[in-house]
Every structure is written in structure tokens, then in C-alpha cells.
Amino acid sequence: MRSGGATTWTILSVLQWAQHYLRTKGISEPRAGAEVLLAHCLKCSRLDLYLRHDQPLSDDELSCYKKGLKRRLGHEPTQYVTGHQEFWSLDFLVSPAVLIPRPETELLVEAVLKHLSRSKPGGVTPQILDIGTGSGILAVTLAAELPQALVVAVDQSWESLGLARENARRHKVEHQINWILADLVSALAPRALFEAIVANPPYVPTADWEQLPPEIKEYEPRLALDGGPDGLEVIRALVLAVQPLLQPDGLLALEVGQGQAETVQQLLEQAGAYTPSEIVLDYQRLGRVVLARRLDD
């Protein structure tokens, strides 16, 4: 693809070329990638690409697109190329310092909202803890959905917290969130009681790490994905560590990996501090979220 000369590249013609090129190079989701990268360069929506399909591209626009395609050919995720990812219909900044938000993580938001709608009447201030906040998608989304809520967001990466704070500012909820640099919950007072604790912890077994697609293995932070030999190392620690932080009947909501939900249920039962847990299925009918409530003292 050349940006000069006699060839006039329109939105449609360059999209068709890019989709074919990415497909022949074995890049996953070639159409979505081609569209997202071009929309990013043109500062428009993917729908606008087709509404303006016959619009010629300038040399600067073509240059931007070529740079994006080159990065994608190296298997860099489209979200890191553009620096953005949608979650819960909100636009979030992302970088290689944080995990790229996945649609199934929205199940955690749904679970907390459902729990608090039952346990907290209007006007009462719920307190929520987000462990391993990453880009801040859970903390920011819950704060946006619950204007009365106060959220504590914990992460062990200073770079992640900086990005999460920027996302909170962009969505005008920074006044609702306190940010803590810590490993798990080590910096929290043992009697800081929360109505809900939510976490999307690392849960990929270490042996599976090398088998992940290059888009994940070579670019996303291993710290946010590798959950130890069986994938449950961090989850085991969380099940025990959050017990004194949950108020009676407070909700613990954990995202888990494929085939792990029943084992996590057993961990919660063995802890002896929770009511019988519930498994929430994802869009592929796989156990993706485990919910449990703390027993009354």
C-alpha cells in the first residue's frame, strides 16, 4: 500500500485491502482489526467508515494506518495500538501495563450491582473493594453506576494505578475512588468492612502460559495472568485474606478460569466463613464467576 502516486485510496478500498492482507498473514479477526485501526486514525466510529466509504484518505491518514497495521502484523493487540478498549459501554485507556478488558468481566459488575440493589436502600453509601484494579474498569464502572458508592482500588503496579486514575478522571468518578499501591490486601486494616469485594485475579496455570496466543503471551502483563502451577495461587490467598474485610452478608465476586469454578467453590467451603457459593456462566455457558457471601459472625 503506497500513500503517494496515482492510486487514490478510499476508506472502502483500503479496508478491503487491509482485511485481505491481515488474513493472508494469519492475523486473528482481520476485519475487526482493520476497521478499528482505520477508525482510530480517522478519529471516527466503525459505522462512519461505511457511511463515508468513498472518502479519499490523505497521506497522513494512510501513514497512520500503515504504522498501525505494521504493529498488528507483529501480533500486538489492536487495543494497545489504539490505546483504547470499550467496557460496559465506556471507553477506557489501556496500555501494555494492564490486562485488556474482556467482555466476560462485565459479569462481575452485574453481580455487584444486583447484590447492592438488594442489600442497600437508596441513599446509603456502599463501600466496595476492587483488588488488582489494573486499568480500573471495575472500580470506575461501579462508581459510575453507583454515584453514592465509595470504592477502594488496590494494585501492586504504580503504572497501572496511574492509568486507572486517568480513566476515573475521564469518567468523572475520581472523587469516589481511593487508590492503594499494595500486594493484594496487605495495606488494608483488618476491620475495614466492605459490602462487596470484587477481583479478576490471575488464573492461567503456569504450564498453559507458553501455549497462549502471541497477542497475549508477548504483550499482556504476565503478572495479571499467571496464577501459579494450577492457576489458583492468588485465588487461594484472596479467599482467606478478604474474610475479615467483608461485612456479614457482604459479597465476594471472583472471576475464574475455565474449569476452575467448582474448585473455587470448594476453597470457599473449606474457609468456613462463607455461605454456599454460586457459579455464574459466561456467554459460552462456562463457569466464569464465583459468588459467595460472608456468614454472620
What CA dihedral angle connects 83, 131, 252 and 280, to 10 degrees? 30
| Residue 118 pLDDT class (50, 70, 90 cuts) | confident
User: What's at 137, amino acid-wise?
Assistant: I
Classified by CATH at the fold level, domain 88-293 comes out as Rossmann fold (3.40.50)
Helix residue spans in the chain (DSSP H): 11-24, 30-42, 46-51, 59-73, 78-82, 106-119, 137-145, 158-170, 206-209, 214-217, 233-241, 261-271
Single out the residue of 193, 293, 198 nearest to residue 249, CA to CA: 293
Element (H, E) at 86: strand 84-87
Q: Give CA–CA dist 215/56, Å, rounded.
A: 31
Average pLDDT of the segment spanning 245-273? 94
> For the chain, which residues make up each domain, given as ranges?
11-74, 88-293
| Residue 121 pLDDT class (50, 70, 90 cuts) | low
pLDDT in tens, 75-111: 999 999 999 999 999 999 999 999 999 999 999 999 9
* Residues in CB range of 272: below 8 A, 6 or more apart: none
Average pLDDT of the segment spanning 104-129? 86
Q: Compute the mean pLDDT over every residue in the chain, rounded to the nearest whole number.
A: 92
Q: Give CA–CA dist 66/241, Å, rounded.
A: 48
Number of helical H runs and strand E runs in the chain: 12, 9
Q: What is the pLDDT of residue 187?
A: 73
| Residue 6 pLDDT class (50, 70, 90 cuts) | low
Using CA atoms, how far residue 234 sits from 1, 89, 201, 225, 226, in Å, is 47, 29, 7, 10, 9
Say if CB 98 and CB 80 are below 8 A apart: no
Looking at the predicted structure, is the pLDDT value of residue 4 above 60? no
Looking at the predicted structure, is the pLDDT value of residue 144 above 90? yes
Average pLDDT of the segment spanning 229-254? 93
Q: What is the pLDDT of residue 130?
A: 97
Looking at the predicted structure, is the pLDDT value of residue 168 above 70? yes
Give me the sign of the Cα torsion angle 19, 22, 28, 32: negative
Looking at the predicted structure, is the pLDDT value of residue 159 above 70? yes
| Residue 183 pLDDT class (50, 70, 90 cuts) | confident
| Residue 123 pLDDT class (50, 70, 90 cuts) | low
The backbone torsions φ and ψ at residue 212, rounded to the nearest 5 degrees and listed phi first, read -70, 155
pLDDT in tens, 27-44: 999 999 999 999 999 999
Looking at the predicted structure, is the pLDDT value of residue 117 above 90? no
